[in-house]
């Protein structure tokens, strides 16, 4: 198995993206706090490479205390979910709520490209084949995200992630990044169909 983007590229991209997005992050944080009391940053325990747990950071898009994925279950979030704030809806539509994941990249818990990190309850249900997605760092974007994202079933997403683990390379990661930019511009595939 060849590798994806080198760690130094992950760090450089994360630093550049954080620097460029910091004014918008500040505006988003203020808007989140003005609309709904609570922290602007949402923290959730996710499972990364080798099954190691870490705290994933995102901008909060829901009313404080209305966790969309309780520890023991996973419920797909729909576009019209009443827990999503107005500011949160914009952040989700643009995927800007994921920008704090860049801090996870700098910490080495995530990469720019890789399978999206999931919660423990999902990992506990993996077959041995599905556990292969834990052989690499989780990513901010990945092969499943650019090939259907939320329009895919959970099993289809995992199969795409396992395919990525077997075929990852700097060229594939570059292709995923290009497709991610296109997806961000169009906004397609952000919610369950």
Q: Which pLDDT score, from 0 to 100, does residue 167 have?
A: 96
Q: Which pLDDT score, from 0 to 100, does residue 191 have?
A: 46
Q: What is the pTM of this model?
A: 0.87
Q: Which pLDDT score, from 0 to 100, does residue 193 have?
A: 32
Q: Which pLDDT score, from 0 to 100, does residue 71 have?
A: 52
Please tell me the distance from the alpha carbon of residue 174 to that of residue 153, in angstroms, as a whole number.
25
Judged on CB neighbours under 10 Å (0-12, 13-18, 19+), 75 is: exposed
Please tell me the distance from the alpha carbon of residue 183 to that of residue 181, in angstroms, as a whole number.
5
Q: Which pLDDT score, from 0 to 100, does residue 192 have?
A: 40
Counting as low any pLDDT under 50, the low residues of the chain are 1, 72, 190-193
- Classify the C-alpha dihedral 125-159-12-42 as positive or negative: negative
Cα-based distances in Å from 148 to 10, 76, 143, 182: 24, 15, 9, 13
Q: Which pLDDT score, from 0 to 100, does residue 74 have?
A: 53
Q: Which pLDDT score, from 0 to 100, does residue 151 have?
A: 79
Q: Which pLDDT score, from 0 to 100, does residue 8 have?
A: 95
Phi, psi for residue 179 in degrees, rounded to 5: -65, -35
Q: Which pLDDT score, from 0 to 100, does residue 3 have?
A: 82
């Amino acid at each position: 198995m060849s590798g994806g983007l080198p760690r130094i590229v992950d760090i450089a991209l994360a630093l550049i993206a954080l620097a460029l997005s910091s004014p918008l992050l500040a505006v988003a944080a203020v808007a989140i706090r003005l609309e709904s009391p609570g922290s602007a940053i949402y923290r959730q325990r996710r499972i990364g490479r080798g099954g190691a747990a870490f705290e994933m950071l995102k901008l909060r898009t829901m009313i404080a205390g209305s966790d969309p994925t309780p520890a023991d279950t996973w419920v797909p979030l729909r576009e019209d979910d009443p827990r999503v704030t107005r500011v949160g809806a914009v952040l989700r539509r643009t995927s800007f709520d994921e920008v704090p994941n860049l801090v996870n990249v700098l910490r080495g818990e995530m990469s720019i490209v890789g399978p999206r990190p999931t919660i423990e309850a999902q990992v506990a249900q993996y077959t041995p084949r599905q556990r292969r997605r834990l052989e690499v760092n989780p990513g901010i974007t990945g092969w499943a995200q650019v090939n259907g994202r939320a329009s895919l079933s959970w099993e289809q997403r995992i199969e795409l992630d396992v395919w990525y683990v077997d075929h990852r390379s700097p060229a594939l990661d570059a292709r995923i990044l290009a497709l991610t930019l296109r997806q961000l511009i169009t906004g397609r595939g952000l919610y369950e169909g």
